[in-house]
Amino acid sequence: MTRTQRWDAIVIGAGIVGAACARALAMDGLAVLVLESGFTGGSTTAAAMGHLVAMDDSPAQLALTALSLALWRDLAVELPAAVEYDACGTLWIAEDDAQMEMVRLKQQTYRDAGIACEQVLGAAALSALEPNLRSGLAGALLVPGDGVIYPPSAAVWLLAQAMARGCVVRERCRVDEIADQSVRCGDEWLHAHVIVNAAGGGAVALTPSLPIVPRKGHLAITDRYPGFVRHQLVELGYLASAHEMSSESVAFNVQPRATGQVLIGSSRELVGWDASTNRRVLREMLDRAQRFMPALRDTSIVRTWRGFRPATVDKLPLIGRWEPTAGVWIAAGHEGLGITTSLGTARLIADMVMGRTPAFDVSAFAPNRALPAAEVAA
Ligand SMILES: Cc1cc2nc3c(=O)[nH]c(=O)nc-3n(C[C@H](O)[C@H](O)[C@H](O)COP(=O)(O)OP(=O)(O)OC[C@H]3O[C@@H](n4cnc5c(N)ncnc54)[C@H](O)[C@@H]3O)c2cc1C
């Protein structure tokens, strides 16, 4: 295709969301061009934990994560080893009887949504599954359909799938402007029937009224300790940490990696694009992890890093048509769930672009929906 030709679709951003959208649109037979200012999977996608998780902060979030998990499980057999897919399941940890009540409520919510979670574990069963957890915890909910991947490799693979269907990718190509059915990269205008703004935190620079703010998070990874942890372990308090936009927070969230390393999270801060390491928050995050897993004190941390979740006030991504500009669609604002929800987002975008009825009502994700006032200016 020459420069003067019109593409069917241009996807801006080759993070995991853009890669998944490019794949879905290419699989629908569209001629797709992907424009990426850096390199594939190199931004927030590279900073993520890679937990594929059903989340129930709202019915819309549960519907999108459930759809996405089903799509990841369908893909599992095709994923190459580099994607490190591990169907390890999640254990939602309850510290006391009050949290065990929350565990049972969560189990009912998940069951109602068709998500398998038959097992509520008591203290002894939890300890048998995860011996490095401290004693005295009340129990946990096991969600066996959750898993773990290595996000940047997943983005590369999804985009390779799109390229196998004719998609063209231009890395180190920044989009400077979006107009009706066209984008500008430097002096060059490119045209397409469909423009998908999947630029993550960068989406706002191209579509300025999008309500996305950066939400910083730190992670730490240990040396190799195979078998140290067997499931993704998350404290129930994580939900409150993820939900609350007005404060800095840390929560216990630990993951087994294919390498035998232990990935430790997580923190949330609204500090704009301040990329410095917040040693105090990192310390609090590690202290909290050690409170749940005292044996972590004897492990070596080999690396820490931070990334910026593209967050919205109502914790839901922006997925759908952007009416003010002809041909423009938004797939951005996935906060701490974009690895999980990339496939579901791509399915919804492809369904809407192709005129199919999406799997469920998507109005909760409308990019121009009314949002509650931001509690904190970031
Ligand atoms: C610490 C941390 C832990 C996380 N853990 C998890 C987890 O366990 N599970 C989960 O589901 N999610 C997790 N997330 C969230 C997840 O990482 C994000 O939601 C997801 O990566 C967003 O993907 P994206 O493709 O929208 O954005 P990005 O990965 O940021 O991709 C956007 C791409 O667009 C490109 N771009 C930007 N502007 C332009 C432009 N003008 N022109 C061209 N290209 C442009 C960028 O270079 C980038 O490559 C975590 C995030 C963080 C920070």
The model's pLDDT over 164-187, given as tens digits with 9 standing for 90+, comes to: 999 999 999 999 999 999 999 999
265, 290: one domain: yes
> Does residue 75 fall inside a structural domain?
no
Which atom of ligand 1 is nearest the CA belonging to 42? 49
If one residue of 49, 83, 183 were mutated to test the ligand 1 pocket, choosing by the most ligand atoms within 8 A of its CB, it would be 49
**Three-state DSSP class for residue 280:** helix
User: Where is pLDDT greater, at 286 or 2?
Assistant: 286
- Tell me if 9 sits within 8 A of 30, measured CB to CB: yes
pLDDT bucket at 377, cuts 50 / 70 / 90 = very low
Q: How much of the chain exceeds pLDDT 70, in percent?
A: 97
> Does residue 68 fall inside a structural domain?
no
90 lines ligand 1 (CB under 6 A): no
For the question of whether the overall pTM of this predicted structure is more than 0.85, the answer is: yes
pLDDT bucket at 33, cuts 50 / 70 / 90 = very high
pLDDT exceeds cutoff 70 at 124:
yes
- In eight-state DSSP terms, residue 247 is S
Closest CA to 318 of 229, 196, 150: 196
Nearest protein CA to atom 12 of ligand 1, as residue: 337
**181/357 Cα distance (integer angstroms):** 23
- d(CA 154, ligand 1 centre) in Å: 12
Which atom of ligand 1 is nearest the CA belonging to 199? 34
If one residue of 334, 345, 349, 365 were mutated to test the ligand 1 pocket, choosing by the most ligand atoms within 8 A of its CB, it would be 334
Q: What is the CATH number of the domain that holds 245?
A: 3.30.9.10
Least confident of 130-139, 203-212, 242-251, 353-362: 242-251
Helix ranges (H only) for the chain are 16-27, 44-47, 59-75, 97-112, 123-129, 151-163, 203-206, 238-243, 279-292, 338-353
358, 223: one domain: no
Q: For the stretch 54-81, what's the b/e string if a residue is b when 16 or more beta carbons lie within 10 angstroms of its beta carbon?
A: bbbbeebbbbbbbbbbbbbeebeeebee
**373/6 Cα distance (integer angstroms):** 39
If one residue of 309, 318, 341 were mutated to test the ligand 1 pocket, choosing by the most ligand atoms within 8 A of its CB, it would be 309
299 lines ligand 1 (CB under 6 A): no
Record the tokens describing residue 14, joined without a space. 């080759």
Domain that holds residue 130: 87-145+212-311
- Residue with tokens 């704009």, as numbered in its chain: 272
Name the domain count of the chain.
2
Concatenated DSSP letters for 106-162?
Answer: HHHHHHHTT----EEEEHHHHHHH-TTSPTT--EEEEETT-EE--HHHHHHHHHHHH
154 lines ligand 1 (CB under 6 A): no
The model's pLDDT over 306-362, given as tens digits with 9 standing for 90+, comes to: 999 999 999 999 999 999 999 999 999 999 999 999 999 999 999 999 999 999 999
184, 219: one domain: no
311 lines ligand 1 (CB under 6 A): no
> Does residue 268 fall inside a structural domain?
yes
pLDDT exceeds cutoff 90 at 8:
yes
